[in-house]
Amino acid sequence: EKGGYDYFMLKEIAEQPKAVADTLLGRIDASGSLTLDEVRIPVAELREVDKVVIVACGTAFHAGLIAKYAIEHWTRIPCEVELASEFRYRDPILAARTLVVAISQSGETMDTLMALRHAREQGSKVLAICNTNGSTIPRESDAVLYTHAGPEVAVASTKAFLTQLVACYLVALYLGQVRGTKWGDEIDAVIRELAQIAGEVEQVLQTMEPVRELARSLADRNTVLFLGRHVGYPVALEGALKLKELAYMHAEGFAAGELKHGPIALIEEGVPVVVVVPSPRGRSVLHDKIVSNIQEIRARGARTIVIAEEGDEAVVPYADHLIRVPATPTLLQPLVATVPLQVFACELATARGNEVDQPRNLAKSVTVE
């Protein structure tokens, strides 16, 4: 059942190219236009949406944080992302023109369910992004876009996360399409890129041996820090979450721009810091800023583990370890940049003798609040 792998998690990491391809399948036609038949919210209503609110927990919340960048950039609709467990307790402002997107692998997470019930009571439409057919969250939503990751058994979410990202991009592109906003060259490039992204995830998987080696060399550490900017920030949060739950290490993700507002005080000799570097093409300001962040932490003794796209030479002098990912449009980079962090956490857990598929104190679906 583990298909020759030692753990379900390894199998599920390896299944990611297929999961991503399956989630895209049949949803973008040859002309680059999207058909999301399952999204049963009438196009006329989607055109009227003036705010998107995403609710989710854990890894699914990180997918939501990334979705915000895509939705706001491609559609110009304001988007908020909130932890489902916080959402209804702060009396959120919801209206008929608010589209609430609930992201959940299991479809049974109680906090996410309670958040969507609250949203519907206030008259908002709810679109679920879910991996489990017929589960409670899609049943109670107005519409659902299923992710096609297949069953995810390991407690730590991997392939479900990548497919949640794909589904979020599809929702963002679809909203852009029905509203006619920002439909241009950039969107066409993104759609072309999505057609290749499964192959690029596969390419990342083929180059993970040095990452595993690095992970083993860090098995006796207590702390690993993660930095990112823009969509690299939620990727940093996800890398830290994977490490906490699997390796039981103190791991924290920061927005790189926040360093000098506090976290830089944590940097001391030898502390491993993973940095997710955005593409130097396109938004090059972001790239330049993060290169100087890497210099700053390295000058203070950090051992820098840099995830950067192929051909990015500017990072080379400051990287103690360099992990290459294929070049992608900035907004899609999380699909390739997250994979080394999953492998890293899984290998560290193994090296520390932890139970990979069943980390202590955790359950696959959290059906209590």
Catalytic residues: 364
Examine residue 105 and tell whether it contacts ligand F6R (CB under 6 A): yes
Q: How far is the CB of 253 from ligand F6R (least distance, A)?
A: 13
Among candidate residues 325, 93, 36, the one with its CA nearest the CA of residue 203? 325
Q: How far is the CB of 214 from ligand F6R (least distance, A)?
A: 21
Quick one: 276 or 319, whose CB is closer to ligand F6R? Answer: 276
What is the layout of strands, in order, in the sheet containing 125-130?
A: 79-83, 51-56, 98-104, 125-130, 143-146
From the list 16, 109, 293, 350, which residue makes contact with ligand F6R (rule: CB under 6 A)?
109
From the list 16, 157, 163, 279, which residue makes contact with ligand F6R (rule: CB under 6 A)?
157
Produce one character per residue of 223-251: b if its CB has 16 or more CB atoms within 10 Å, e if not. ebbbbbbbbbbbbbbbbbbbbbbbbbbeb
Q: Choose one: 15-23, 35-43, 103-111, 263-271; the region binding ligand F6R (CB under 6 A).
A: 103-111
Q: How far is the CB of 152 from ligand F6R (least distance, A)?
A: 8
Q: How far is the CB of 108 from ligand F6R (least distance, A)?
A: 7
> x/- binding map, residues 51-90, to ligand F6R, per CB under 6 A?
------xxxx------------------------------
Examine residue 122 and tell whether it contacts ligand F6R (CB under 6 A): no
And the tokens for 282? 């396109």
Q: Choose one: 37-45, 46-54, 101-109, 213-221; the region binding ligand F6R (CB under 6 A).
A: 101-109
Q: How far is the CB of 295 from ligand F6R (least distance, A)?
A: 32
**Which residues contact ligand F6R (rule: CB under 6 A)?**
57-60, 104-106, 109, 112, 156-157, 241, 245, 365-366
